[in-house]
């Protein structure tokens, strides 16, 4: 069961459900809404007004549903943000420190980040939901490098790791695993997994690179992050999303033996 790296084009419904299940949360800095909170909260750093946040959200929703290219997304959203006054540099009050600072609001670079992050995390969450539904016939996942010109050294070392979909490693290492990361996974059947492993070119155990301590400069929270993953990206979007949590609660409430 193959899934190529994300590219413009209509996306599966599971990816849209992931985005649409998020609540809205304002944040001054991207550290204010942290790590797995992004899987349940829709936010854009320094979009402190709900009308601005909702405008960006609506265009991201349209972009994901229609499979727009970045050029199309930028052409439609930029004039909307300019009309709302959320473009260029401006002075803004940091509610955490009480200081007023000059900050970057909308820009082509920021729109590119919004486009890439939402497209890739939505794809990842949607794929994870499909993996759960098809794990009986395709119980393995293969880590593969994406089309980036340069790859992180640790990610190169993970290419070729072949683990069961229920392996705990995927809870922290299911890509994307950092800003701009284009790594992806391919779901494979038991028969294909046996064929791949017979070549001796694939790994059945993920290397333990250890952990590193990271302090969130905004919240003061101290977390341990697997080496090779950027802080804030060490979570599986599909496993912690509102959609996944709702399904988990439904499964827990359903009486054993009830298959309706």
What is the rounded (10 degree) CA torsion for 225, 230, 232, 233? -100
Instruction: Look at residue 202 and tell me whether its pLDDT is greater than 80.
Output: yes
- 148 and 111 in one domain? no
- 83 and 21 in one domain? yes
- 145 and 95 in one domain? no
For position 243, what pLDDT does the model report?
56
Instruction: Look at residue 130 and tell me whether its pLDDT is greater than 70.
Output: yes
- 186 and 232 in one domain? yes
Boundaries of domain holding 180: 138-244
Cα distance between residue 139 and residue 141, in whole Å: 7
12 — pLDDT class (breaks 50, 70, 90): confident
* Tens of pLDDT, residues 18-42: 899 888 899 999 999 988 888 889 9
Instruction: Look at residue 2 and tell me whether its pLDDT is greater than 70.
Output: no
149 — pLDDT class (breaks 50, 70, 90): confident
- 69 and 26 in one domain? yes
Mean pLDDT over 117-139 rounds to: 93
Mean pLDDT over 166-173 rounds to: 95
Whether 186 maps to a domain, the answer reads yes
- 195 and 165 in one domain? yes
* Tens of pLDDT, residues 58-96: 999 999 888 899 999 999 999 999 999 999 999 999 999
- 152 and 113 in one domain? no
Whether 181 maps to a domain, the answer reads yes
- 61 and 155 in one domain? no
What is the rounded (10 degree) CA torsion for 29, 119, 185, 175? 0
Question: Which of 85, 117, 149 is the endpoint of a domain?
Answer: 117
Whether 8 maps to a domain, the answer reads no
Whether 7 maps to a domain, the answer reads no
Whether 176 maps to a domain, the answer reads yes
Query: Hey, is 169 helix, strand or coil?
Result: coil
Instruction: Look at residue 128 and tell me whether its pLDDT is greater than 60.
Output: yes
Mean pLDDT over 203-207 rounds to: 91
For position 256, what pLDDT does the model report?
47
Whether 38 maps to a domain, the answer reads yes
Q: At a CB cut-off of 8 Å and minimum separation 6, what does 132 contact?
A: 165
Whether 253 maps to a domain, the answer reads no
Whether 226 maps to a domain, the answer reads yes
1 — pLDDT class (breaks 50, 70, 90): very low
- 80 and 164 in one domain? no
How many domains does one find in the chain? 2
And the tokens for 248? 């988990």
248 or 199: which carries more pLDDT confidence? 199
Mean pLDDT over 108-115 rounds to: 96
For position 3, what pLDDT does the model report?
43
- 88 and 21 in one domain? yes
- 38 and 94 in one domain? yes
Instruction: Look at residue 14 and tell me whether its pLDDT is greater than 90.
Output: no
- 110 and 25 in one domain? yes
């Amino acid at each position: 069961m193959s899934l190529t790296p994300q590219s413009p084009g209509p996306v599966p419904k599971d990816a849209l459900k992931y985005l649409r299940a998020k609540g809205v949360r304002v944040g001054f800095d991207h550290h204010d809404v942290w790590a797995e909170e992004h899987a349940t909260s829709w936010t854009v750093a320094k979009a402190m007004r709900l009308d601005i946040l909702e405008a960006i959200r609506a265009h991201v929703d349209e972009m994901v549903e229609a499979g727009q290219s970045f050029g199309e997304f930028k052409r439609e959203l930029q004039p909307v943000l300019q009309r709302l006054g959320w473009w260029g540099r401006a002075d803004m009050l940091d509610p955490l420190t009480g200081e007023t600072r000059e900050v970057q609001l909308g820009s082509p670079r920021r729109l590119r980040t919004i486009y890439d992050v939402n497209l890739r995390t939505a794809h990842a969450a949607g794929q994870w939901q499909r993996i759960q539904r098809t794990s009986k016939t395709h119980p393995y996942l293969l880590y593969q490098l994406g089309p980036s010109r340069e790859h992180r050294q640790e990610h190169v070392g993970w290419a070729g790791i072949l683990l069961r979909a229920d392996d705990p490693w995927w809870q922290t290492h299911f890509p994307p695993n950092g800003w701009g990361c284009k790594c992806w996974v391919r779901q494979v059947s038991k028969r294909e997994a046996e064929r791949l492993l017979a070549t001796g070119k694939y790994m059945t155990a993920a290397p333990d690179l250890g952990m590193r301590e990271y302090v969130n400069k905004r919240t003061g929270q101290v977390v341990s992050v697997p080496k090779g993953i950027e802080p804030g990206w060490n979570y599986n979007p599909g496993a912690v999303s509102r959609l996944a949590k709702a399904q988990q609660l439904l499964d827990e409430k359903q009486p054993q033996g009830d298959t309706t």
